[in-house]
Structure 1
Amino acid sequence: MTKEDIKAQVRQAFDHRVSIRVYNDKDITREDMEYILDMAWLSPSSIGLEPWRFVVLDRKAIAKIADDLKPASWGAGSQLDTASHFVLLLAEKKVRYDSQAVKDSLYRKGLSEDMIASRLLRYEDFQKNHKKMADDERLLWEWAAKQTYIALGNMMTADSFIGIDSCPIEGFHDDEVNDVLVKHGLIDPDKEKLASMVSFGYRANDPKHKRIRKDRSAVVTWVD
């Protein structure tokens, strides 16, 4: 396969991908979902922190929480009724430079204690002086949440390559949805919070409207 062949495949996958809100009754196989989830697991994140967890719900699991979730998730109603799978993208809440989560990310790399100490000083400077977020729990969580969108995009691209459809979902009431997830034992509210959701399945119908984008020249700027 040539580079041009690969580029054509990638473009085809992006052309196929649209946000699907109503799916048919065909289930995604476990093998295919594991492939999609691998793309989330292998995604990059700032400082290699991996400040996320991906909770996977199949049709049976969705049905158990759908009635509780729908009132707080106005953007997910039809997907909760028809999707083969849902993935909840959770972001860690306590990712300050001196947190155990940050230290564990360095231990995973197999660094020496001296190198870890040096990295932590750099992260402290980054969070305190560059991003001004070290002492703001909300900003720290938002920083972690932004990383989950890298994984979200990779999952939606990966699924389109194999003909599976998806829809990212942010249309929900933060506090109410997190309360539902706590009630059903799906998240630890002291450690994590929902950043976004994504539904997966096979489209019931082709989209009614053509996909529209801004003119490419308006969003792509080359600097000479």
Structure 2
Amino acid sequence: MSITKEEVLNAFRFRHACKEFDSARKIPDYEFAFILETGRLSPSSYGFEPWQLVVLQDPVIREKLRANTWGAQKTLPTASHFVLLLARTQEALTPESDHIQHIIRDVQQLPPENAAGKTSVYRKFLETDFGLLGSERAVWDWAGKQAYIALGNMMTAAAMIGIDSCPIEGFEHVPVERVLQEEGIADGERLRLVSMVAFGYRVREPRSKTRRPIEEIVTWL
């Protein structure tokens, strides 16, 4: 690897929740393709990729979301690229669902006996290991936690090439979901919004980053 540890740490120091972007500057297509690829390559439980990414460039839909997205009042109109992170629901993540079986058979290309075994292990995980089945909110939250792995990886990758970002949870879920359904972006049944993230170039430098010292957050046993 040609990247040094200090370069990686500098990317984390550079990254901040950028609340307003330079609307005149657009991220080149090849740079944003790189950011999306880091999301695509992100890990997920069982490799089931329970997320969907929607790159929202339509200014009309952005403005519709803005009415109920208090955490993106300046980022929605100024971001070069705006991404919606959708997570699959319980209906879409049961062991026999189309999505799970598509991943097992078509993406992971497991032979029939291995596919059956993985389906069985996954069912046990949902039913007893984590006790998720039977709670739609629990399954959706589990999928959303994994979507955040892709979110973090994309923001770090962006920072490493000098691109700013801002993760956004500041929105009213019901009216925002209504807009997404009206626009055909999410059906509200198999895919639901868990977070948003804006990308672009800062218009001003942020204040110094503050974090707890490592001794306060890490315990060695």
Normalising by structure 1, report the TM-score.
0.92
3-state SS of the aligned residue for 2:84?
strand
- 1:67 alignment partner in structure 2: 63
- 1:151 alignment partner in structure 2: 150
Letter in 1 for 2:21: Y
Verify the 8 A CA contact 1:95 1:102 in the aligned structure 2. Answer: yes
In the alignment, structure 1 residue 26 sits paired with structure 2 residue 22: no
- 2:111 alignment partner in structure 1: 112
Query: What whole-Å deviation, never above 9, does each CA across 1:189-217 have from its counterpart, x for those lacking one?
Result: 3320111000000000001x321101211
What is the distance in 2 between the residues matched to 1:28 and 1:111?
38
- 1:46 alignment partner in structure 2: 45
Aligned length: 217
- 1:165 alignment partner in structure 2: 164
- 1:17 alignment partner in structure 2: 15
Question: What are the ranges of 5 or more consecutive residues in structure 1 without an aligned counterpart?
Answer: none
What is the distance in 2 between the residues matched to 1:222 and 1:16?
28
Letter in 2 for 1:109: Q
3-state SS of the aligned residue for 1:27?
coil
Query: What whole-Å deviation, never above 9, does each CA across 1:95-131 have from its counterpart, x for those lacking one?
Result: 1223222222211212121111111111111111111
Query: What whole-Å deviation, never above 9, does each CA across 1:122-159 have from its counterpart, x for those lacking one?
Result: 11111111111112222111111111000000000000
- 1:101 alignment partner in structure 2: 99
Identity %: 41
Letter in 2 for 1:95: L
Verify the 8 A CA contact 2:126 2:133 in the aligned structure 1. Answer: yes
1:219 to 193, 217, 220: 217
Verify the 8 A CA contact 2:12 2:159 in the aligned structure 1. Answer: yes
Normalising by structure 2, report the TM-score.
0.93
Query: What whole-Å deviation, never above 9, does each CA across 1:34-93 have from its counterpart, x for those lacking one?
Result: 1100000111100100111111123xx1x2113321221111111012111101011111
